[in-house]
């Protein structure tokens, strides 16, 4: 922020205090947290010398991007009297609604837009005092009306704009999103092509300014202008920042709007601006103000405890001293309730950064002086246990490294082609417009492409590991919604896994691929049980791939059935990920010479869950007995369907299956003498009687009942 020393001193007209020198201002602002980056002597047309100070302003202090904001800080530190000169009131003529129509179609992005109309202005040179003040802060004088808007921006921190009313088609201003590829000729002489997510102020036919960034050439005030529309508004900082970066244009207005201009400050800025224009350009103002948007939010009340102030700052501050500092900062205070020793504080409307008690404590530290904070000889450090989420991630990492996986830390960005290949249907890329990221501008929608790139690098380097290379990574993935509604970012943290298919020959066989898939399933089982406990069960079912990278015939969704003792043994199924094989095209995209199995699970399904609950039980006294059954079924019958039907049989006849303790998958066979289109799935049943040794023939009853049930439901026959 560039400030003029002469302008700053004019805000302290108290004759009892000498004008501040540049050294004094630098010392005061540095102590308040606003260091001076440079000084420059500026000769003025009057023959005097002013001093231009470049003040470093933090991003949360948009109120200090003005001479009044800086003066408030100095007044709080020195008890000087701050006073802003006023302009005499002028009588209003006519109604503003008869001269102009205002429409705000995007109140969520333009919280407040105000407009007034001044007729019969005389556009010409600015008075010498105004030219001198603008030149002192590096601004070129244009004409008296435009100079007035620049003056108010540097004085109060409220950017504003003026339109030539005669150039506005339909006599209206319409705040809206730009039409796709809509063009706008801006004040810098360029014609810009706008994007559909950029805000504009338009008339009835076309855009007239890029909201919060730069005005339009077609509606600018010239020597021929007679009637003007005065705009004072506020905009969503994200929209302003994005438009400024898209078009590579940075203005004093965009710099302020990106740091938030509170809606509650617009009225004072509008009155000040209209008064200044009438003073230096003449004219008659129309009665009333057009005001569209949302009502300004109420200023929050913040509780402040003196004991907390002492605890944070390390020294005692009396209530009277705290009230004195709050008053100096124009923060209203009142006692906290009946008999309480605290304060309830209400910040001024221009301080949206003050929302918490710690913010007020920081203000006390700044005004009271940072040198008042005692410096201790030592620092007391209390070691705390890691957060639950971190403990879960660590424990999963221990399990995975024990299973032969290597952890990777890869870059967040991928190419557009990679993002599209792994993009879930219905979502779109999130990109950055950075020249340094021209080759890979997309935030990854999946961690898998990063693992595959890492695998390719290892392959080209000739790295080999017995059993194949296995990689994992936990990271955030991002995409955004599409459609006519407002775009929303979708972000998740995931655990991504990649496992080579061990190949003995030149090409992977079906058996080798199946083995790798089972190993990946075992990895997921181990990770889930580490996070959720042994009661958690992973269920796998075939599904259609969510993106183009995965094979239609080799994709499965994963669900966790979590049975908790503290939930009365209620089972909760949570869809939390997938496992898949890549298509041949995706393998070729990463130049991989052998297939890989990949999986991705949502960490929130495990991290947000309660810690695993261990079930303690007495070890069985009697041995179990087993039955292996090979069911011949059609190829379309999955293991999940077989497992589900066994569970149905158990639920329908609990008495018959009371000794059935567990069911597990053994293997699958295809080939002679089975008919084409059929396969043999071997299931192992474990029986146990908890009261005595179970004889082999006692398992015949439930086994025969299960065979009959499977034949009736899925058409299974026993292979002999």
- Rounded to an integer, what distance in angstroms lies between the CA atom of residue 508 and that of residue 505? 7
Residue 485, phi then psi, degrees to nearest 5: -75, 170
- Rounded to an integer, what distance in angstroms lies between the CA atom of residue 236 and that of residue 211? 10
Indicate the angle between helix axes 700-714 and 639-652, nearest 10 degrees. 120
Name every residue whose Cβ is closer than 8 Å to that of residue 174 and which is 6 or more positions away in sequence: 103, 105, 201, 202, 203, 204
Could you count the other beta carbons within 10 Å of the beta carbon of residue 377?
4
At 438 the three-state DSSP class reads: coil
- Rounded to an integer, what distance in angstroms lies between the CA atom of residue 416 and that of residue 442? 6
Cis amide linkage into residue 73, ω under 30° from 0: no
Q: Exposure pattern of 322-353 as b/e (b: 16+ CB <10 Å)?
A: bbbbbebbbbebeebeeeeebbebbbbbbbbb
Residue 507 confidence (pLDDT): 86
In the DSSP assignment, the letter for residue 216 is B
- Rounded to an integer, what distance in angstroms lies between the CA atom of residue 55 and that of residue 644? 70
Bridging pattern class, strands 284-287 and 92-95 = parallel
| Token duo for residue 233 | 């508004």
Cis amide linkage into residue 114, ω under 30° from 0: no
Is 345 in contact with 301 (CB distance < 8 Å)?
A: yes
Bridging pattern class, strands 290-293 and 284-287 = unpaired
DSSP notation for 612-625 = P-PPP-PPPSS--E
Residue 570, phi then psi, degrees to nearest 5: -80, 135
How many whole angstroms from its chain centre is CA 447? 18
Name every residue whose Cβ is closer than 8 Å to that of residue 409 and which is 6 or more positions away in sequence: 473
At 333 the three-state DSSP class reads: strand
In the DSSP assignment, the letter for residue 716 is -
Residue 570 confidence (pLDDT): 40
Is 194 in contact with 208 (CB distance < 8 Å)?
A: no
Residue 670, phi then psi, degrees to nearest 5: -130, 140
Beta-sheet strand order (sheet of 430-431): 413-414, 442-443, 430-431
- Rounded to an integer, what distance in angstroms lies between the CA atom of residue 134 and that of residue 125? 13
- Rounded to an integer, what distance in angstroms lies between the CA atom of residue 71 and that of residue 17? 14
In the DSSP assignment, the letter for residue 143 is -
- Rounded to an integer, what distance in angstroms lies between the CA atom of residue 619 and that of residue 505? 46
Residue 88 confidence (pLDDT): 79
Is 125 in contact with 116 (CB distance < 8 Å)?
A: no
Pick from 667, 660, 659: nearest CA to 689 = 659
DSSP notation for 518-558 = HHHHHHHHHHHHHHH-TTEEEEEEE---SSTTEEEEEEEEE
CA–CA distances in Å: residue 655 to residues 369, 620, 706: 80, 20, 13
Pick from 177, 171, 165: nearest CA to 110 = 177
Number of Cα atoms under 13 Å in the Cβ half of residue 370: 10
Residue 15 confidence (pLDDT): 59
Residue 589, phi then psi, degrees to nearest 5: -60, -35
Pick from 490, 405, 523: nearest CA to 454 = 405
Q: Sign of the CA dihedral 234, 237, 239, 244? A: positive
Residue 615 confidence (pLDDT): 64
Mark the ranges of the chain whose per-residue pLDDT is less than 50: 564-572
At 167 the three-state DSSP class reads: helix
Name every residue whose Cβ is closer than 8 Å to that of residue 13 and which is 6 or more positions away in sequence: 81, 83
Is 606 in contact with 531 (CB distance < 8 Å)?
A: yes
- Rounded to an integer, what distance in angstroms lies between the CA atom of residue 674 and that of residue 633? 10
CA–CA distances in Å: residue 698 to residues 619, 623, 650: 22, 13, 16
Name the CA dihedral angle for 235, 238, 243, 248, rounded to a multiple of 10 degrees.
Answer: 120
For 136-194, list the strands marked E by DSSP. Answer: 160-164, 172-177, 183-185, 191-193
Is 626 in contact with 687 (CB distance < 8 Å)?
A: yes
H or E element at residue 653: none
Pick from 536, 514, 517: nearest CA to 525 = 536
For residue 537, what are the β-bridge partners?
A: 561
Could you count the other beta carbons within 10 Å of the beta carbon of residue 449?
25
Pick from 428, 408, 390: nearest CA to 598 = 408
Residue 571 confidence (pLDDT): 42
At 254 the three-state DSSP class reads: helix
Bridging pattern class, strands 550-563 and 571-582 = antiparallel
Per-residue H/E/C for 95-142: EHHHHCEEEECCCCCCCEEEEEEEECCCCCCCCHHHHHHHHHCCCCCC
Name every residue whose Cβ is closer than 8 Å to that of residue 261 and which is 6 or more positions away in sequence: 62, 157, 158, 159, 234, 235
Residue 610 confidence (pLDDT): 59
- Rounded to an integer, what distance in angstroms lies between the CA atom of residue 632 and that of residue 627? 16
| Token duo for residue 2 | 């560039």
- Rounded to an integer, what distance in angstroms lies between the CA atom of residue 161 and that of residue 541? 61
């Amino acid at each position: 922020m560039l400030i003029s020393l002469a302008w700053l001193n004019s805000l302290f007209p108290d004759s009892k205090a000498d004008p501040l020198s540049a050294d004094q201002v630098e010392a005061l602002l540095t102590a308040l947290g606003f260091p001076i980056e440079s000084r420059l002597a500026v000769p003025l047309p009057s023959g005097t010398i002013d001093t231009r100070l470049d003040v470093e302003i933090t991003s949360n202090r948009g109120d200090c991007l003005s001479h009044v904001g800086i003066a408030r800080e100095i007044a709080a530190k020195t008890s000087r009297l701050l006073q802003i000169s006023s302009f005499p009131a002028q009588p209003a003529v006519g109604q503003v609604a008869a001269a102009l129509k205002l429409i705000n179609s995007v109140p969520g992005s333009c919280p407040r837009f105000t407009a007034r109309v001044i007729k019969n202005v005389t556009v010409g040179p600015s008075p010498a005092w105004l030219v001198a003040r603008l030149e002192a802060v590096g601004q070129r004088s244009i004409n008296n009306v435009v100079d007035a808007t620049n003056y108010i921006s540097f004085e109060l921190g409220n950017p504003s704009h003026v339109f030539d009313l005669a150039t506005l088609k339909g006599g209206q201003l319409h705040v809206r999103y730009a039409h796709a590829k809509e063009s706008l000729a801006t004040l810098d002489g360029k014609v810009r092509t706008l994007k559909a997510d950029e805000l504009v102020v338009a008339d009835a036919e076309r855009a007239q300014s890029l909201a919060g960034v730069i005005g339009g050439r077609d509606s600018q005030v010239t020597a021929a202008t007679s009637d003007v529309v005065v705009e004072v508004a506020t905009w969503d900082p994200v929209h302003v920042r994005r438009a400024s970066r898209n078009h590579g244009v940075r203005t004093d207005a965009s710099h302020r709007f990106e740091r938030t201009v509170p809606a509650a400050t617009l009225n004072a800025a509008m009155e000040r601006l209209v008064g200044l224009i009438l003073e230096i350009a003449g004219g008659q103002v129309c009665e009333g103000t057009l005001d569209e948007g949302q009502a300004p939010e109420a200023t929050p009340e913040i509780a402040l405890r003196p004991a907390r102030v002492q605890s944070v700052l390390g020294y005692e501050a009396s209530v009277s001293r705290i009230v004195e500092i709050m008053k100096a900062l124009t923060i209203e205070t009142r006692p906290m309730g009946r008999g309480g020793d605290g304060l309830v504080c209400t910040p001024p409307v221009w301080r949206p950064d003050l929302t918490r008690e710690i913010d007020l404590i920081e203000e006390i530290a700044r005004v009271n002086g940072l040198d008042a904070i005692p410096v201790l000889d030592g620092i007391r450090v209390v070691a705390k246990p890691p957060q639950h989420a971190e403990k879960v991630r660590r424990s999963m990492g221990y399990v995975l490294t024990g299973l032969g996986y290597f952890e990777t830390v890869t870059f967040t960005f991928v190419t557009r082609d990679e993002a599209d290949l792994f993009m879930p249907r219905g979502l779109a890329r999130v990109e950055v417009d950075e020249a340094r990221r021209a080759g890979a501008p997309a935030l990854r929608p999946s961690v898998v492409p990063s693992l595959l790139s890492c695998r390719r690098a290892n392959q080209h380097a000739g790295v080999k590991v017995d059993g194949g290379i296995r990689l994992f990574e936990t990271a955030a993935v991002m995409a955004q919604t599409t459609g006519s509604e407002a775009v929303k970012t979708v972000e998740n943290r995931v655990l991504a896994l990649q496992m080579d298919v061990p190949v003995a020959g030149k090409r992977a066989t079906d058996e080798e691929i199946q083995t790798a898939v089972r190993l990946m399933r075992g990895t997921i089982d181990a990770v889930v049980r580490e996070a959720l406990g042994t009661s958690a069960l992973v269920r796998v079912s075939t599904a259609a791939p969510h993106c183009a990278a995965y094979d239609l015939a080799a994709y499965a969704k994963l669900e966790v059935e979590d049975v908790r003792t503290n939930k009365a043994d209620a089972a909760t199924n949570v869809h939390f990920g997938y496992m898949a094989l890549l298509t041949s095209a995706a393998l070729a995209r990463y130049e991989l010479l052998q297939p890989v199995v990949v999986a991705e699970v949502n960490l929130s399904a495990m991290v947000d869950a309660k810690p695993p609950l261990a079930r303690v039980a007495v070890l069985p006294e009697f041995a179990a007995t087993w039955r292996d059954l090979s069911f011949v079924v059609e190829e379309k019958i999955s293991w999940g369907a077989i497992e589900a039907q066994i569970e149905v049989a158990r639920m329908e006849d609990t008495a018959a299956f009371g000794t059935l303790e567990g069911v597990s998958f053994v293997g699958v066979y295809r080939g002679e003498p089975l008919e084409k289109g059929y396969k043999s799935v071997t299931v192992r049943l474990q029986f146990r009687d908890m009261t005595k040794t179970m004889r082999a023939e006692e398992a015949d009853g439930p086994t025969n009942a299960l065979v009959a049930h499977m034949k009736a439901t899925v058409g299974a026959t026993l292979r002999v």
